[in-house]
């Protein structure tokens, strides 16, 4: 395996190994306070006067709180600690304990020793069930990597806090600060961290005096990191369903006032000792969860005390980071290079005139799209299936109603374009958006059918769609980021570049559109322009500063190579295919090398993959491949796009047999389109195999590959004549 790794980097990253990426981090000059407040919302930061100073003097952002399987508060803490999306074990009562605390009469340190075989002699806190956490996660995930890295580098740190209630021991914050063995050398998580409340329905409330005293004590003697877990909002949210709204809101406002007063005291300590402060909401409040919003606020206050927006190389989006960026941010502030150890990247600041207003708008848009997307895309998918099946049936019957399906077929190809440009119009709500899409597609279809010839109208739709996607990519994909067919910060599958939905649309529309254009022009020079345009298009899809889609790059390279071979009528023998394969491989390796050698803040997930291979060898690709396969299997079982793809493939197969000769007639008349159709089928298959949500890419590609011959076939069938 070491030999394979060396060969890989000799080929891809030779220069990078000689001149490794340098960290800009400096040795830790002052302490860092990491304050976690589960249950805090962006609205709280806007409305709370007591928290306004933090907002006014800090860099603020929204954090995606996704974990590996099911989102939860413990999984989010664990994800931040490991620097990879983590799963939470099915066992619910996993927690941390002071080493001398007793569980059923036995000291927790002794239980930890029996469960793990490790001696907890020098540990203040232990997690006896650490093995259950390890077992529940992938081999490459390392719970406690953050604390382990701090310990190796000699950075002292302290953890304080819990979320206990009278009926439950709840200390998930421990999972952020524990090491790989599930221990903490210094910290307090027992009953000293809370008081018995005289008014709160949660009965316990944070002992802020204890937190303050221990924080001050640490700052007087150390330069390191203090983790403070303020659990009152989390305690209250567990009672959300059991309390009247007025009781819940009253206690929540009291808690926010306490948090604001405590942070004000922390800022007073800053004047004495000088430190940076990172406030994290590991998981949002109950109300946000119920509405579908799992973005949570983060504030970074540094010595310059200037406001701004947070971003990172993981998202490349102003005001947006992920929970995978937390550990790299903490370590970067401690002067520790994390380039090869963590998937995420350190957060950085961007200037903005009004950060809170920007984030409120971002959250509102993200949530609207997240809630609208299922209904509208499901409707579009069902519409595709109905139209294609209806067309096939009418073709088989040679039914007189066949001409009536033509506008619906054309609208299938038009709608992805209007899904893209809808954010410009800015319709609000499900009904308004649906009306806009229906009206725009209807009017466009009518105009095209009245003003353009058969091939020309199809070419216009395909090429205009491709042009708009490319134009959007070149300016940073602002439309795709807000499109219902794009990607969403809440789901967190992608934050920038070319998403798989529009990758498939671009792939199918560019192949079919270009070959239809050749049918119109029918000039030899068109072939040369075609080759140049597709080289440029492939570069845009692959380039880290634009498309950043590795699976898409593979699909475009392979399919366009095939299309060139078919159009130039080059024999598809072993020699030509071998040359094409090595050319594709060389381009992909150059892409990985280019992105890897860029500064980490500018790298995309292409460079990240190269970093993972550098650290773990070729075996580091295995979890990526497994994830891609698992995602495709999941989508095969649950996604409506699977039904679309199956419907399209079935219809394409049927067209070759019934009605007899219809596809032969189309291919005989439109030879360039024949090459495009064959390439489109292959492109859809490659997109399926090369992407972790390949079903979606393959299905959206087939919209153009299949609907176009169906549309042409409706003009080829003599109506009322039996086959």
Q: Which residues contact 715 (CB under 8 A, 6 or more apart)?
A: 454
Q: Which residue has the higher pLDDT, 29 or 175?
A: 175
Instruction: Say which range, 54-68, 120-134, 394-408, 569-583, has the weakest mean pLDDT.
Output: 569-583
Contact 423, 412 (CB under 8 A): no
293, part of any domain: yes
Is 53 in contact with 287 (CB distance < 8 Å)? no
Q: Is residue 24 over pLDDT 50?
A: no
Rounded CA-CA distance 161/211 in Å is 8
Any domain includes 696: yes
Q: Domain count of the chain? A: 2
DSSP lists the bridge partners of residue 203 as: none
Query: Which of 151, 113, 127, 147 shows the shortest CA–CA distance to 74?
Result: 127
Which of 318, 353, 388 delimits the end of a domain? 353
Coil vs helix vs strand at 485: coil
β-pair partners for 35: 228, 279
> Are 494 and 548 spatial neighbours (Cβ–Cβ below 8 Å)?
no
Identify whether residues 221 and 269 lie together within a single domain: yes
> Which of 578, 575, 576, 539 is closest to 557 using CA atoms?
539
Same structural domain for residues 327 and 415? no
User: Does residue 478 share a domain with residue 336?
Assistant: no
Residue 366 in any domain: the answer is: no
Residue 308: phi and psi, rounded to 5, are: 170, -175
R_g of the chain, CA atoms, integer Å? 29
**Which CATH number does the domain housing residue 114 bear?**
3.40.720.10
Give the separation between CA 662 and CA 712, rounded to whole angstroms: 9
Task: Kindly state the average pLDDT of the residues 522-547.
Answer: 81
Check residue 719 and give its pLDDT: 56
State the average pLDDT over residues 159-169: 94
Q: Is 722 inside any structural domain?
A: no
3-state SS, one letter per residue, for 113-177: HHHHCCCCCCCCEECCCHHHHHHCCCCCCCCCHHHHHHHHCCCCEEEECCCCECCECCCCCHHHH
Q: How confident is the model at residue 564 (pLDDT cuts 50, 70, 90)?
A: confident
Which runs of consecutive H residues, i.e. helices, occur in 243-354? 245-273, 286-291, 326-333
Query: pLDDT value at position 296?
Result: 96
Q: CA-to-CA distance for 278 and 299, rounded, in angstroms?
A: 6
Asked whether residue 154 is domain-assigned, the answer is yes
- The span from the CA of 60 to the CA of 554, in Å, is 37
Beta pairing, strands 320-322 & 59-64: parallel
Residues 6 or more apart whose CB falls under 8 angstroms from that of 568 comprise 527
Last residue of one domain, picked from the residues 320, 353, 386: 353
Q: Helices 671-690 and 500-521 meet at what angle, rounded to 10?
A: 170
288 and 429 both lie in a single domain: no
The answer to whether 150 and 223 are in contact (CB under 8 A) is no
Q: How far apart are CA 628 and CA 83, in angstroms?
A: 19
Average pLDDT over residues 533-557: 85
346 secondary structure, DSSP code: -
Domain for residue 358, yes or no?
no
Residues 6+ apart with CB under 8 A from 136: 87, 88, 89, 90
Q: How far is the C-alpha of 669 from the C-alpha of 653, rounded, in Å?
A: 20
Statement to judge: residues 415 and 314 lie in one domain: no
Pair (300, 425) in one structural domain: no
Domain end among 353, 385, 412: 353
Helix locations, 300-428, DSSP H: 326-333, 355-397, 406-425
Kindly report whether the peptide bond that precedes residue 659 is cis, defined as omega within 30 degrees of 0. yes
The verdict on 488 and 339 lying in the same domain is no
Convert 626-653 to b/e letters by CB count within 10 Å (16 or more is b).
eebeebbeebeeebbbbebbebbbebbe
Query: What is the C-alpha end-to-end distance of the chain, expressed in Å?
Result: 61
Stronger pLDDT, 145 or 631, i.e. the higher one:
145
Looking at 42-46, 264-268, 477-481, 625-629, which range is the least confident one? 625-629
Q: What share of the chain is helix, strand, coil (3-state, %, to 5)?
A: 60, 10, 30
If asked whether residues 251 and 385 sit together in one domain, one would say no
pLDDT (tens digit per residue) in 323-368: 999 999 999 999 887 666 788 889 999 999 899 999 999 999 899 8
- Domain residue limits at 118: 2-353
pLDDT of residue 193: 96
Strand partners, 33: 226, 277
Question: What pLDDT, on a 0 to 100 scale, did the predictor assign at position 280?
Answer: 97
pLDDT at 16: 36
For residue 92, the 8-state DSSP code is: S
Q: Is residue 670 part of a domain?
A: yes
DSSP classification of residue 21: P
Judgement on whether residues 703 and 565 belong to the same structural domain of the protein = yes
Please report, for residues 227, 250, 460, 507, 708, the alpha-carbon distance to residue 457 in angstroms, rounded to integers and kept in the order given. 62, 62, 5, 19, 11
Model's pTM, two decimal places? 0.86
- Of 685, 682, 706, 708, nearest to 697 by C-alpha is 685
387 and 273, same structural domain?
no
Q: Is the domain of 303 the same as that of 383?
A: no
**Position with higher pLDDT, 8 vs 396:** 396
The answer to whether residue 363 sits within a structural domain is no
Residues 257 and 125 in one domain: yes
Average pLDDT, the chain: 86
């Amino acid at each position: 395996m070491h030999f394979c790794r060396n060969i890989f980097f000799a080929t891809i990253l030779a220069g990078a190994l000689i001149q490794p990426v340098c960290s800009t981090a400096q040795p830790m000059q002052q302490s860092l306070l990491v304050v976690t407040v589960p249950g805090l919302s962006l609205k709280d930061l806007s409305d709370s006067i007591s928290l306004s100073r933090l907002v006014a003097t800090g860099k603020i952002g929204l954090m995606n709180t996704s974990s590996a399987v099911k989102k939860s508060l413990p999984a989010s803490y664990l994800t931040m600690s490991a620097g990879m999306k983590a799963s939470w074990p099915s066992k619910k009562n996993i927690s941390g304990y002071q080493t001398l605390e007793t569980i059923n009469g036995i000291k927790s340190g002794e239980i930890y020793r029996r469960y793990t075989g490790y001696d907890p002699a020098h540990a203040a806190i232990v997690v006896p069930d650490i093995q259950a956490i390890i077992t529940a996660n992938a081999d490459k995930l390392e719970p406690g990597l953050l604390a382990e890295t701090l310990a190796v580098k000699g950075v002292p740190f302290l953890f304080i806090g819990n979320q206990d209630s009278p009926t439950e021991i709840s200390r998930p914050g421990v999972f952020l600060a524990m090491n790989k063995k599930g221990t903490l050398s210094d910290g307090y998580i027992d009953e000293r961290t809370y008081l018995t409340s005289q008014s709160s329905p949660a009965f316990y409330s944070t002992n802020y005096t204890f937190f303050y005293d221990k924080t001050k004590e640490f700052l007087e003697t150390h330069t390191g990191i203090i983790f403070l877990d303020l659990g009152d909002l989390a305690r209250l949210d567990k009672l959300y369903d059991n309390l009247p709204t007025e009781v819940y809101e009253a206690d929540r406002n009291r808690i926010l006032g306490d948090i604001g007063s405590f942070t004000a005291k922390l800022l007073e300590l800053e004047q004495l000792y000088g430190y940076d402060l990172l406030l994290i909401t590991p998981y949002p409040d109950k109300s946000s969860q119920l509405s579908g919003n799992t973005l949570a606020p983060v504030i970074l206050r540094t010595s310059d005390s200037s406001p701004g927006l947070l971003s990172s190389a993981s998202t490349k989006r102003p005001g947006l980071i992920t929970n995978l960026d937390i550990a790299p941010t903490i370590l970067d502030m401690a002067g520790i290079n994390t380039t090869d150890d963590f998937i995420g990247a350190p957060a950085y600041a961007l200037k903005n005139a009004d950060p809170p207003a920007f984030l409120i708008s971002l959250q509102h848009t993200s949530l609207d799209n997240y809630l609208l997307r299922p209904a509208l895309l499901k409707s579009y998918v069902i519409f595709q299936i109905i139209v294609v099946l209806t067309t096939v049936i009418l073709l088989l019957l040679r039914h007189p109603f066949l001409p009536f399906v033509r506008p619906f077929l054309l609208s299938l190809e038009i709608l992805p374009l209007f899904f893209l440009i809808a954010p410009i119009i800015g319709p609000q709500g499900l009904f308004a958006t649906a009306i806009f899409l229906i009206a725009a597609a209807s009017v466009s279809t009518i105009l095209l059918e009245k003003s353009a010839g058969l091939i020309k109208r199809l070419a216009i739709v395909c090429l205009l769609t491709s042009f708009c996607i490319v134009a959007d990519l070149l300016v940073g994909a602002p439309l795709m980021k807000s499109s219902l067919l794009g990607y969403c910060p809440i789901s967190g599958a992608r934050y920038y570049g070319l998403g798989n939905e529009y990758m498939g649309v671009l792939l199918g529309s560019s192949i079919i559109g270009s070959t239809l254009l050749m049918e119109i022009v029918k000039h030899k020079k068109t072939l040369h322009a075609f080759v140049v345009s597709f080289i440029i298009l492939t570069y845009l899809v692959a380039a880290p500063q634009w498309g950043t889609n590795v699976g898409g790059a593979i699909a475009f390279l392979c399919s366009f190579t095939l299309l060139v071979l078919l159009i130039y009528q080059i024999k598809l023998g072993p020699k030509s295919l071998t040359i094409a394969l090595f050319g594709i491989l060389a381009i992909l390796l150059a892409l990985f090398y280019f992105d890897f050698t860029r500064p980490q803040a500018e790298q995309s997930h292409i460079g990240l993959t190269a970093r993972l291979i550098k650290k773990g060898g070729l075996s580091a690709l295995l979890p990526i491949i497994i994830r891609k396969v698992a995602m495709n299997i999941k989508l095969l079982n649950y996604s409506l796009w699977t039904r679309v793809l199956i419907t399209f493939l079935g219809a394409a197969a049927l067209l070759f047999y019934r009605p007899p000769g219809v596809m032969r007639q189309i291919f005989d008349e439109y030879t360039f389109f024949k090459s495009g159709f064959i390439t489109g089928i292959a492109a859809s298959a490659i997109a399926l195999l090369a992407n972790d949500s390949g079903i979606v890419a393959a299905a959206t590609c087939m919209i153009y590959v299949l609907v176009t011959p169906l549309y042409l076939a409706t003009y080829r069938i003599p109506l009322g004549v039996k086959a």
